[in-house]
């Protein structure tokens, strides 16, 4: 009996796994993204334009907002409504200058698909080919972008209930997006989901059952935000544009 009591006491008093492992995911993602700029010196086709740099600045700015508030939530358990308001604010950061300049500019093929922000201007739908939200109303495109980004964020947070599930789902989705972008010849666009996939792959060995570390809200919300933005960024088809680059 004494042995069982000792074992039970050890189990009950064992320190719980850390719950802010998402900070490690963010560090890995940012490091991989910064490292991708080194490829520019190796291959000129991987050079990012000023438009892409602006797009990344919007993404990282919104990510900083999400990560900061979610980290505080992991420590202090913030109310739901203020957190939801921050999610919409970060999504608005992605939309960027498109909020006040809703003009579509010509892309490399001469088609008017370029917008000043990361915005879901159109999407393909079964049986109706493509729904062009910008043509219907630019504000409809903005609303769709906000719902998409906030929805994916919270979806990833809800998925984060089993060891390795959220990171595994994000890893698979990010790899699919990267392959899609590569198939379209968008080499620099593919680097974003590849950086996300790499961060998840590095975290999974520690989060797989039995988990030694949990990502917390700071990880789940950040993964959802990055995945939602990557889906818009890596979804472009030159013949049937489904999203818009950041442009001047």
Range ranked top by mean pLDDT from 5-14, 26-35, 202-211, 234-243? 26-35
Stronger pLDDT, 128 or 177, i.e. the higher one: 177
47 touches 27 (CB < 8 A): no
The pLDDT tens digits for 134-172 are: 888 899 999 999 999 999 999 999 988 888 899 999 999
The pLDDT tens digits for 180-191 are: 989 888 888 899
Quick one: average pLDDT of 43-54? 76
Quote the CA–CA distance of 172 and 157 in Å, as a whole number: 16
Quick one: average pLDDT of 73-85? 90
Q: What is the pLDDT of residue 18?
A: 57
Domain boundaries, the chain: 17-246
Q: What is the pLDDT of residue 48?
A: 77
Angle, nearest 10°, between helix axes 187-207 and 165-183?
Answer: 160
SS (H, E, C) 2-17: HHHHHHHHHHHHCCCC
Quick one: average pLDDT of 201-219? 86
The mean pLDDT value of the chain amounts to 82
Quick one: average pLDDT of 28-35? 92
CA-CA distances (angstroms) from residue 232 to 21, 71, 204?
26, 25, 25
101 touches 116 (CB < 8 A): yes
Taking alpha carbons only, the member of 110, 59, 48, 95 closest to residue 241 is 110
Taking alpha carbons only, the member of 96, 94, 65 closest to residue 82 is 65
Stronger pLDDT, 204 or 13, i.e. the higher one: 204
Q: Cβ neighbours of residue 32 under 8 Å, at least 6 residues apart?
A: 194, 195, 198, 199
Tokens of 113: 């698909």
């Amino acid at each position: 009996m004494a042995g069982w009591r000792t074992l039970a006491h050890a189990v009950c008093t064992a320190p719980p796994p850390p719950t802010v492992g998402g900070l490690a995911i963010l560090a890995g993602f940012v490091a991989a993204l910064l490292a991708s700029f080194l490829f520019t010196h190796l291959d000129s086709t991987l050079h990012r334009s000023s438009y892409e740099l602006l797009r990344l600045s919007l993404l990282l700015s919104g990510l900083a907002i999400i990560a900061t508030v979610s980290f505080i939530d992991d420590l202090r358990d913030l109310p739901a409504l203020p957190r939801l308001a921050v999610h919409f604010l970060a999504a608005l950061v992605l939309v960027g200058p498109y909020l006040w300049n809703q003009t579509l500019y010509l892309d490399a093929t001469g088609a008017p698909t370029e917008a000043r922000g990361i915005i879901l201007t159109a999407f393909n739908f079964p049986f109706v080919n493509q729904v062009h939200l910008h043509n219907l109303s630019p504000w409809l495109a903005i609303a769709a972008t906000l719902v998409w980004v906030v929805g994916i964020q919270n979806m990833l947070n809800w998925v984060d209930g089993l060891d390795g599930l959220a990171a595994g789902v994000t890893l698979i989705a990010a790899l699919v997006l990267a392959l899609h972008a590569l198939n379209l010849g968008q080499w620099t666009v593919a680097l974003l989901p590849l950086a996300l996939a790499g961060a998840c792959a590095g975290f999974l060995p520690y989060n797989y059952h039995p988990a030694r570390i949990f990502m917390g809200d700071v990880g789940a919300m950040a993964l959802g935000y990055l995945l939602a933005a990557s889906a818009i960024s890596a979804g472009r088809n030159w013949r049937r544009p489904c999203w818009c680059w950041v442009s001047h």
